[in-house]
Amino acid sequence: MSNSAINTNELTTLFTADTPLIDVRAPIEFMQGSLPGSVNLPILNNEERALVGTTYKHQGSEAAVRLGHKMISGKIKQERLQQWLSFIQQHPSAVLYCFRGGQRSKITQQWLRDVGVNRPLITGGYKQARQFLINAIEQFSANHSLLIITGPTGSGKTRLIQQISSCYPTLDIEALACHRGSAFGSMSVPQPTQVDFENQLAVNLLKLKQGNQPDPVVVEDESRNTGRVYLPASFFEHMRHSAIIWVDEPLETRVDSIFEDYILATPIGQALQARRGTQQLSSATEIQTILNQHALLLFDKYANALQAISKKLGGVRFQEISQDLENARSSFVNRNEIQANKIWIEKLVKYYYDPLYLGSLQRRQVNPVFKGSRQAVMDYLLARQA
């Protein structure tokens, strides 16, 4: 990479190396989508950008540049320059970009040079890098094979993929989407924007191409949408035409798995385990405080998720599962007991998720290359690599 510009043919190296990026666009632009590894340190804030844009529209480029320099001068200029310098001091390999690699990144680059700091900018800026990442997804879909792990809810597909990641290249779509894919699957961190999700997917695919492991890439079976983000058409169609392995676990095992993920792995489950001596907190009072803080939020979250699928469940089953959920809430509030959650989880799986899943497989006419328990699938995959 040169000291002045990063060209398109260098973007793979830029992204796969997790290069720190300084996005000098306005915050409103950054929030709509950014390049992976970016921090927003704008040269113009939202209001300043709007004024410069209006001036450009009515008076031309030179007038807009003059206004920008006039607004960003003196103390304001020094404050913004110091932000860039502080970040570069912590991340010496940082690279600059604006929307098209034009005035904003070039002026930023020059101001840094004026104080003895040389950092390159991305040629073509965000727009060109974004197109590069879109192309990367399409190229991967056309040139690399996938192996899809499917199975009913609670089969442990995500765990399986994590366990084989040392033997196979893998892709965790739910982790990229910050969502488990169901009505109950929201996580504590917010989902990315659609643009950020696609950009991060592309970078992960670029990293897989850079690795030494051969195809196929193992991916969990997902619908087009994961929460409110969706897979690009080329990649989703590639998944739908890829070989499939079916993880088949009994209902009881799947209920236990869901219970572990959605109850035991939450703050209330962790606090109860601490109370029972599996973890150490400072006092029983601290444990109870955690329980009180998180219990109401968790049960309300699940009640809202249940309400969201009420029409698909039907009135009678919705009311039945709602009452089971309320009973589980009461058991927790009154006795700190959480096993009652397995009742509503089992009914939700039987009444909603299993019919939904099996109906989808029937419509797709899935013909798996292998079907078995999670351990059997694990043995099969390892044998393929032997």
pLDDT tens figures, 196-209: 999 999 999 999 98
- CA 129/CA 173 separation, integer angstroms: 22
Confidence of residue 284 (pLDDT cuts 50, 70, 90): low
Whether 139 maps to a domain, the answer reads no
Whether 83 maps to a domain, the answer reads yes
The pLDDT, as a whole number, for residue 47 is 95
- Residue whose token pair is 């796969």: 16
User: What one-letter code names the amino acid at 255?
Assistant: V
Tell me: do 90 and 220 sit in the same domain: no
The pLDDT, as a whole number, for residue 185 is 84
Catalytic residue, chosen from 22, 98, 218, 290, is 98
**The CATH number of the domain where 45 resides is what?**
3.40.250.10
Tell me: do 68 and 155 sit in the same domain: no
The residue range of the domain holding 290 is 144-386
Tell me: do 372 and 263 sit in the same domain: yes
- CA 138/CA 146 separation, integer angstroms: 14
Confidence of residue 97 (pLDDT cuts 50, 70, 90): very high
The pLDDT, as a whole number, for residue 210 is 87
Tell me: do 316 and 193 sit in the same domain: yes
Residue 227: half-sphere exposure toward Cβ, Cα within 13 Å = 20
The pLDDT, as a whole number, for residue 281 is 46
Distances (CA, A) of 174 to 58, 150, 179, 206, 338: 46, 14, 5, 18, 26
Whether 136 maps to a domain, the answer reads no
Whether 135 maps to a domain, the answer reads no
The four Cα atoms 248, 252, 257, 263 give a dihedral, to 10 degrees, of 150
Tell me: do 119 and 58 sit in the same domain: yes
Tell me: do 150 and 122 sit in the same domain: no
| CB 80, CB 43: distance < 8 Å | yes
Distances (CA, A) of 290 to 125, 261, 269, 284: 46, 18, 10, 10
Final residue in a domain of this structure, among 97, 130, 163: 130
The average pLDDT across 147-153 equals 95
167 catalytic? Reply is no
Tell me: do 174 and 240 sit in the same domain: yes
- CA 206/CA 167 separation, integer angstroms: 18
Tell me: do 252 and 125 sit in the same domain: no
Q: State which H helix or E strand residue 150 sits in.
A: strand 146-150
| CB 178, CB 112: distance < 8 Å | no
Confidence of residue 107 (pLDDT cuts 50, 70, 90): very high
Tell me: do 30 and 173 sit in the same domain: no
Going by the DSSP 8-state scheme, the letter that residue 8 receives in this structure is G
For residue 216, whether the previous peptide bond is cis, meaning omega lies within 30 degrees of 0, is yes
Going by the DSSP 8-state scheme, the letter that residue 279 receives in this structure is S
Tell me: do 110 and 175 sit in the same domain: no
Final residue in a domain of this structure, among 72, 99, 130: 130
Whether 49 maps to a domain, the answer reads yes
Please report the sign of the dihedral spanned by the C-alpha atoms of residue 248, residue 252, residue 253, residue 255.
positive
Whether 137 maps to a domain, the answer reads no
Percent of the chain whose predicted confidence (pLDDT) is above 90: 75
Tell me: do 318 and 215 sit in the same domain: yes
In tens, the pLDDT along 14-63 reads: 999 999 999 999 999 999 999 999 999 999 999 999 999 999 889 988 89
Provide the number of structural domains found in the chain.
Answer: 2
Going by the DSSP 8-state scheme, the letter that residue 195 receives in this structure is H
Long-range interactions of 300-306: CB distance < 8 A, separation 24+: 301/184, 301/186, 302/184, 302/262, 305/183, 305/184, 305/186, 306/183, 306/348
Whether 347 maps to a domain, the answer reads yes
Distances (CA, A) of 25 to 38, 79, 85, 196, 279: 11, 16, 17, 15, 46
Tell me: do 176 and 294 sit in the same domain: yes
The pLDDT, as a whole number, for residue 240 is 95
**The CATH number of the domain where 211 resides is what?**
3.40.50
Give the least confident one: 296-300, 368-372, 380-384. 296-300
**What is the bridge-based pairing of β-strands 243-247 and 146-150?**
parallel
Whether 122 maps to a domain, the answer reads yes
Final residue in a domain of this structure, among 130, 153, 177: 130
